[in-house]
Amino acid sequence: MEKSISVGILGLGTVGSGVIQIIEGHQKELIHQVGCPITVEKVLVRDINKPRSVEIDEEKLTEKAEDVYANPEVDVVIEVMGGIKEAKEYIIQALQHKKNVVTANKDLMALHGAELLRLASENNCDLYYEASVAGGIPIIRTLVEGLSSDRITKMMGIVNGTTNFILTKMSKFGSSYDEVLKEAQELGFAESDPTSDVEGLDAARKMAILATLGFSMDIDLEDVVVRGITTVTTDDLHYCEQLGYTLKLIGIAERNEGRVEVSVQPTLLPNEHPLSAVNDEFNAVYVYGEAVGETMFYGPGAGSLPTATSIVSDLVTVMKNMRLGVTGRSITAPLHEKQLKTDEEIESKYFLRLHVADKAGTFSSITSLFAEHDISFEKLLQLPIEETELAEIIIITHQTTKKTYENIYKRLNELDVVQSVESSYRVEGGK
């Protein structure tokens, strides 16, 4: 048997512990895959004396990052510490020391991925990051390898488990957003500060990564239009259900004639759409290719072992490249120049919920506004609000441009008969 390949790990939290657990517990399978053993040489921790959920020789622990990235015995550095500034510096140092790198850091790759990939290529090193998007789902490998011969036109998915858990519980049990958020935090699905998840930032970073790979185009985080779920109410979910839809936080990346849009926002999907059945903390990504048609990838979006599985899968790929002497050659520069769609080019249907004066002429005023912009209604509900002189109108429009819709939205707020626009969401799918 050939000499073992040694790994250094930056971070020993939940995911880092999972990586060690898989390396040690699946050694027979890993040797079969790559022809040699894998050993953990050094692990960066904040406190050597802290109790661990995984058994590891204390001599392998260090509080100095250079003991990992500059260690002559380490062949591959695995970064699972999170954060941006320190993680970026350590990965740069590792690449400059000719170490191949595997990371699960979506924040870092969304912001600095292009820079780090260039550095990896310059140093003939691999930099893999499958675990940065959708945990245990091999979506990045699918885009880079499995669908590399196809032309991807659209990716649409649930890429944040926290928000999917919250919306699932709100929809199923009629609980308020605040109640379900508290439950999610108690179960460990949401952080004590959930802002990154519930405001859509986590999902936006993942969609920037997917769009960059799927479209071979440098998509930056600031190119992603982002809206979170904090304003979603149980009333919204009730009316969605009544109209045959499910509300999810959906990431959308779409390309038409070389021009792209990337967004993350609460979106209505028909109940029969495959993504509507993805519940709780699970993730799923729907991919449209010109040749393959429609495919969907589903699985756990986070967690110690699902994420660690993706990391070790990347590690196996790196090791195979090392043995073949081809590290650093899989990294290619984007093929296409970035061209973002304008608001006149982005088309969708929309859901609107209005509180209006319950009197003659109200509905006529509203329909006249839509008719003026040549927009018809696909679905419509009008209900009186008890013990008030108001009515509630729920509309799903036919297809229109984003610019036209935003103009109508502004005009609705200016109509005397409209007391308030309670909610507004994008609608995807359906005829």
Residues with catalytic annotation?
Answer: 206
Strand partners, 156: 252, 286
Q: Are 236 and 280 in contact (CB under 8 A)?
A: no
SS (H, E, C) the chain: CCCCEEEEEECCCHHHHHHHHHHHHCHHHHHHHHCCCEEEEEEECCCCCCCCCCCCCHHHEECCCHHHHCCCCCCEEEECCCCCHHHHHHHHHHHHCCCEEEECCHHHHHHHHHHHHHHHHHCCCCEECHHHCCCCCCHHHHHHHHCCCCCEEEEEEECCHHHHHHHHHHHHHCCCHHHHHHHHHHHCCCCCCCHHHHCCHHHHHHHHHHHHHHHCECCCHHHCEECCCCCCCHHHHHHHHHCCEEEEEEEEEEEECCEEEEEEEEEEEECCCHHHHCCCCEEEEEEEECCCEEEEEEEECCCHHHHHHHHHHHHHHHHHHHHHCCCCCCCCCCCECCCECCCCCCEEEEEEEEEEECCCCHHHHHHHHHHHCCCCEEEEEEEECCCCCEEEEEEEECCEEHHHHHHHHHHHHHCCCEEEEEEEEEECCCC
- What Cα–Cα distance (Å) separates residue 425 from each residue in 245, 385, 397, 402, 421? 12, 22, 11, 12, 11
For residues 396 and 403, give the distance between their C-alpha atoms in angstroms, rounded to a whole number.
17
